Structures are given as structure tokens and as C-alpha cells.
């Protein structure tokens, strides 16, 4: 029942309520981004959704515009924004539109589709999410092979359960509160996934 109806229902209810309750925070964050980085305050990027179908992910901008590597364009303000995960809040709109779920593997660039092994490609069976098992394991501090394996294991489970998703949300919140895994060493977020990574399982 949860997999067929409850999960999507909770996505709609949870994202809708969160947008209403967090509207003042969203407005304050937008003003802070405009003051620190200028306009536009939102960042749009094509990501791979369920089944590899592309969609446009939306988040608050955290980098200066212009040339340079991502890590070089990420300001102190941008690092704080990412550490708090406030930059991710606009993705509640993606959840309402059905492109994402509150819980699931993080949506990755479309360019990565050809770089997954068959095992890693299982992550595309489910909607990508705001929170998830890989995020709960340490966000961007988790190396690619472990991260993609966690996603694959989540997606191949016989059925989605409320208890499993609740654990993923609780774990993700705990990681955020500890300020853990904001970025991999020397990177704004994660190093680019260069090639297929072999995994076990």
C-alpha cells in the first residue's frame, strides 16, 4: 500500500506543507543569495530522474558566476549555504511535480547515465530524492562506489516501506546537524564520476 499510494501521497503532503511552513525561510535565503552573490538567485540544471528521464532540478545558487573550477567559485557564504542544505529547499517544487521524492537516491547529472555499471543503474528504478540512504551514510564524504551501491540496494528492495524511508530521513538530518560530508576533499561537492565503478553485491 505504501509503495503504490502512500509514498507519493506523503511526498505531495510533505512537500506542500514544507513549502508553506518554510516560505519565510525561503524568502530570507533568496534575499541572502541576492545580497551575497547577486542575481539570479536560483540555479537550474538538467538531472536524470526515474528511468533516466531528464528533468530540471532547481536549487539556490551557491557559487560566483564566471571562470574557474567549482571549488574556486564557492564562497564562504556558499559553503555555509550548502552545509545547512538550505540551497536544496527549492527542490520541494521538484517533489510536488513528481520529478523527485522526499526519499530516494540523489539526482545526478544526465552525463553520468553512460558511466553506471549495470548494478549501479538500478538506482534509476526509483524517483531521486532529497534525503536517502547514501546521504544518511555521510553525504558527499561517501566515495562513489559505496554511494552508488547504497542507492542500488535501496532501489532493488522488494518494496518501499515507511520505516525504511523514515530511517533515511532521520539519518540524513543527523548528518546535516553534524555538518558532515558537505564536500569531498578538494571539491565543491564530489569529484566527477569518470567511469564505471565496479561494485559488489
Residue 184 lies in a domain: no
pLDDT, mean of residues 139-150: 93
Q: What is the pLDDT of residues 21-53, one digit of tens each?
A: 999 999 999 999 999 999 999 999 999 999 999
137-151 burial string, b = 16+ CB within 10 Å, else e? bbbbebebeebbbbb
pLDDT for the residue numbered 3: 77
Residue 26 lies in a domain: yes
Residue 191 lies in a domain: no
Residue 201 lies in a domain: no
pLDDT for the residue numbered 145: 94
pTM equals 0.88
Residue 102 lies in a domain: yes
Residue 200 lies in a domain: no
pLDDT at 13 over 60: yes
Q: What is the pLDDT of residues 177-199, one digit of tens each?
A: 888 877 777 677 788 898 764 44
Q: How confident is the model at residue 71 (pLDDT cuts 50, 70, 90)?
A: low
Residue 122 lies in a domain: yes
Q: What is the pLDDT of residues 101-136, one digit of tens each?
A: 999 999 999 999 999 999 999 999 999 999 999 999
Domain that holds residue 151: 2-178
pLDDT, mean of residues 124-149: 94
Domains of the chain: total: 1
Residue 198 lies in a domain: no
Amino acid at each position: 500500500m505504501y509503495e503504490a499510494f502512500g509514498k507519493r501521497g506523503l511526498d505531495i503532503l510533505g512537500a506542500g506543507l514544507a513549502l508553506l511552513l518554510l516560505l519565510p525561510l525561503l524568502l530570507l535565503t533568496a534575499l541572502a543569495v541576492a545580497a551575497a552573490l547577486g542575481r539570479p538567485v536560483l540555479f537550474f540544471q538538467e538531472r536524470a530522474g526515474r528511468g533516466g528521464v531528464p528533468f530540471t532540478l532547481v536549487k539556490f545558487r551557491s557559487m560566483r558566476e564566471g571562470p574557474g573550477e567549482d571549488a574556486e567559485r564557492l564562497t564562504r557564504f556558499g559553503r555555509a549555504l550548502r552545509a545547512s542544505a538550505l540551497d536544496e529547499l527549492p527542490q520541494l517544487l521538484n517533489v510536488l511535480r513528481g520529478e523527485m521524492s522526499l526519499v530516494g537516491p540523489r539526482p545526478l547529472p544526465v552525463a553520468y547515465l553512460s558511466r553506471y555499471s549495470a548494478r549501479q543503474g538500478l538506482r534509476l528504478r526509483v524517483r531521486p530524492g532529497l534525503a536517502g540512504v547514501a546521504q544518511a551514510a555521510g553525504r558527499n564524504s561517501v566515495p562513489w562506489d559505496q554511494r552508488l551501491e547504497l542507492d542500488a540496494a535501496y532501489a532493488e528492495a522488494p518494496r518501499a516501506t515507511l520505516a525504511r524511508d523514515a530511517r533515511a530521513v532521520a539519518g540524513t538530518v543527523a548528518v546535516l546537524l553534524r555538518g558532515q560530508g558537505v564536500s569531498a576533499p578538494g571539491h565543491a561537492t564530489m569529484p566527477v564520476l569518470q567511469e564505471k565503478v565496479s561494485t559488489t553485491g
